[in-house]
Structure formats: C-alpha cells, structure tokens
Amino acid sequence: MHRRSSLLVPLAGAVLVAACEPMTAPVRPTPYDFRLAKSDSVFHWPESAVPVRFYAEPIGRVPEDVTEGLRQWQRQFLYGELSWTLVSDSCDADVVVRMASPEPPDAEPTDDPFRFVCEGLTILPARVTDEDGRTRFSARIELYLNWFPGSDPTDVANCFRVITAHEIGHTLGIFGHSQRPEDLMYPQPAVRLPSSRDRSTIQTLYHLPTDILPWIPPASAAP
Amino acid sequence: MTRALTAIVLLAGVAATAHAQVFAEVQAGAAWGSPLVEDSIVNAITVAPQIAPAIGVVVGTRLGERYGIAGRVRWARSNLQRQELGESVTVLPLGVWTGSIVLERSMWRSVSAELQFGAIKYDPAGNADGTVFQDDAPLVATLGLGVRADRPVSERLTVGVHVGYDVHQFDTQSLRSAGFTSGRVTHRISVSVALRWRHPHASP
C-alpha cells in the first residue's frame, strides 16, 4: 500500500513541473500605414458595430469574391475581433459592394498568373461630428468594381478575386497601402491572400481605439 | 474524440463489472480555467473561459479496501472571453470535454485523494473563424489531482464534495501559424457535488 501511495508524489511533482513552462508570444512584422491620409485618424469597426453587414450585388461572382475576401481577412484574427454578415438588402448594409461596369464574363477563377484587367475603388463617406462630439462617417462605405472590356474571362475572374479582397481590406479600416508587393494591400496587388504583414497590420489596427465611428442608419439611430 | 471518451467509460465499466464491486456517480458543479492565451498587440490581451457549469459521470470499481479506479467523463460549457484594457468581450461559446482515468485512495475516514490522467477536447460552438480555434480544436493530454469527502446517505448511496485540479498544455494550429512557438500551460480547478451509488455486492 505504501509503495502505491508513494507513486502519487512524483506524479504530483510532474504536474507542478509542467505547470511552470512559459508561453512565448510571437514577434510580428512591423505594420504598414493604415491611418487615414492627412487626418492621421484610425478607423475600425468597433465591437458595438459587429457583425459588419455587407451587401454584395448579385452580379457575376461578386457575392463569392466578397465572401472569400471577408473570410480571408477574418482569418487574420485570433481573438474574435471581427465578424461580418452578408445582407440581401443594400439599405440594411454598412458596406455596399457593386459592379460599376456591365456584368463580367462568366468564368471560374484559377491559379493562373494575375493580370491587371480590373480595378476597385472604395469610397469613404464624409466625416461629421455627432451630437456627442464624436467623429462619425456620414453614410455607409461603398466599394465599386470595374473590369476592362475585351479581357480574357478567366483573367477577369482572377483579377476580381484579388482586387475584391484588397478593397475589403480598405473597408475594414486599412486606409493606407503597403510598400511591398508580397502584401495584399500593395497598391497593385498580385497575391491572393493576406501576408503576415497584412495580418500584423489589421491586428494592430483593431487593438487601437478608433477615432472615427461608423455611420448609423436612420432607422437604428438613437431618438 | 467521442470514440476515445466512450472507450474510457466502457473500459472502466467493463473493469468494474468484472470485479462486481462497482460504483457509479454523477457530478455537478463549476469549473474555472486559467487563460488559454496571453498575447500583446498594442495592449496586453488575455483569452480565458468564464467560470463554467460542469457535469460529469463516473463509473468505477473498488480495488481492495483503500483503492479504486474509475473512468470519468466531464463536460463544461461557458463563453471564451477576451480581456483587454479591463474590458471583456465574448469570443465564442466553448464546450470542454474531459475523459480521464481516475485512481482513488482512501486517506482518512471519508476523505480520499485521487490522481487522474486523460484527455481534454475543446469544442467551440458556431463559426470559429477569426479565433484561436479556426484551424483545429485540440485534443490534449491532461494530468490532475483531486480530493473528495463523502458522507453516506443510505447503505448504497453517498453524497460528497469533490475538488479537482488538472493541468494541460493548450496549443492550436492557428496560434502556431501566428508565430507562437509553444503552447500555454493551462490550469483548471473544479468544485462539484457528487452523488455515488454502490452496487449491492460492492465492498463497504
């Protein structure tokens, strides 16, 4: 009996030794500039505004590209900082994504080399000061996509996938650009997925206090 | 994972039946867990489960006068919380399954000590994208100690208080991808009320 009970002592010791091992926090790449030019303001969707509601115009692969872009950006977080949802009515949206040109040719994206046959533009609304003295966007954020007629359909699909993900980075608050072509937020992006520097940038952004609050739709505005 | 937990319970059950000195027990209580992750992004960030209601089922057998062996399955569920700058934000609901083999030894009167080893399975609910569980929900080994005090209610039934401690190393693929180079040692403490029923032929 004594032999058996003496086994408890070394096993308890093993528990305590295991309990002393430290965890090593990661070293993250230096973020690139994400602040709003000139004002140096920071914007991200605050906890009170998530899930962020996106409307993706049902043209071509816009809904699929928006969904994939949002998923890729969300996956750069670890601690539940961002959530989003797609809404079917643009009036209910915080961000509206539209095709500015005619419906693009029907094609599935591939892993072929990227060709610049499309473009995107994120329009930030004017900023206003609300009754409480806080700076706030005066309308929803809009994102427009455009493709160049005569382009190969597969090239267009590949381009939209990348450009949509890049522009979604802007809608989430990255208002600057990276200076490195391996980042998705490079001005002429050629990579499909956020890099470790993109990750570090959006993580940093979402742990800073936001200087600008999102627009409040009239229906949900406080009386 | 479910198969592993089931196997633990079945093994204990088979062993118990073979010796015909069986006991079965249900437990209900609460579990506290230390942070799963500590990080620093602009601010210090801590991610930990809230205190969770926990339930458990135990099947075991006596091994002589003072010893016992049992299989135990416990389940606890609460919200995983992110703490930052004094504020707490819910990340997602998180269930935790624990399957363990428990070695029990009577110490003094109705007080007994136990040593437990087994496995923990994290079970996040809903969409885990953007969380530490987005690539996997780990199954990890655990080791623990416990103490219990029982009081007979009838010839076959006892009610007791159980206090348990266990430790495991928390690690996920997402944390590794983000640059964490090791898992975090995580401690859990549970307190529960236990109702134990002994088989009529079991030793006293």
Task: Dump pLDDT digits (tens) for B78-119.
Answer: 999 999 999 999 999 999 999 999 999 999 888 999 999 999
Which pLDDT belongs to residue B166? 96
Residue numbers in B near A75 (CB within 8 A)? 129-130, 134
DSSP of B8-46:
HHHHHHHHHHHHT-EEEEEEEEEEEE--SEEEEESEEEE
Chain B: nearest CA to A171, how far in angstroms? 17
Say what percent of chain A tops pLDDT 90.
77
Choice between B177 and A38, residue whose per-residue pLDDT is larger: B177
Kindly identify which residue of chain B lies nearest to residue A85, measuring between CA atoms.
B127
Chain A: nearest CA to B184, how far in angstroms? 5
Do residues B116 and B131 touch, judged by C-beta distance below 8 A?
A: no
Q: Would you call B187 and A80 a contact, using CB atoms and an 8 Å cutoff?
A: no
- C-alpha span between A75 and A196 (Å, rounded): 12
ipTM for this model: 0.82
Q: Is A117 exposed, middle or buried (0-12, 13-18, 19+ CB in 10 A)?
A: buried
Chain A: nearest CA to B28, how far in angstroms? 25
- C-alpha span between A66 and A194 (Å, rounded): 14
Q: Would you call B184 and A81 a contact, using CB atoms and an 8 Å cutoff?
A: no
Q: Would you call A208 and B66 a contact, using CB atoms and an 8 Å cutoff?
A: no
Both tokens assigned to B13: 């059950």
Question: Can you give the pTM of this predicted structure?
Answer: 0.84
Do residues A180 and A200 touch, judged by C-beta distance below 8 A?
A: no
Does residue A1 have a pLDDT over 50? no
Residue A165: helix, strand or coil by DSSP? helix
Give per-residue burial for B112-121: e unless 16+ CB within 10 Å, then b.
bbbbbebbbb
Of B39, B82, B178, the CB nearest to A80: B82
Average pLDDT over residues A165-179: 97
- C-alpha span between B147 and B141 (Å, rounded): 20
Listed in sequence order, the residues at least 6 apart from A185 whose beta carbon sits closer than 8 Å to its beta carbon are A32, A166, A169, A174, A176, A177, A178, A194, A198, A201
Q: Which of B129, B169, B188 is best to mutate for the A interface (most A CBs within 10 A)?
A: B129
DSSP annotation of B168 reads E
What percent of chain A is helix, strand and coil (3-state, nearest 5)?
30, 15, 55
What are the structural domains of chain B?
Answer: 2-198 (2.40.160.20)
Which of the listed CATH numbers 3.40.50.720, 3.90.1010.10, 3.40.390.10, 1.10.357.10 matches domain A43-105+112-213?
A: 3.40.390.10
Q: Give every residue of chain B whose pLDDT is below 70, as ranges.
A: 1-20, 201-204
Chain B: nearest CA to A19, how far in angstroms? 6
Tell me the CA end-to-end span of chain B in Å, nearest whole number.
35
Establish if B113 touches chain A: CB-CB under 8 angstroms.
yes
Domain range annotation of chain A: 43-105+112-213
Which pLDDT belongs to residue A218? 73
Both tokens assigned to A48: 């009170």
Which pLDDT belongs to residue B9? 52
Q: Would you call A82 and B130 a contact, using CB atoms and an 8 Å cutoff?
A: yes
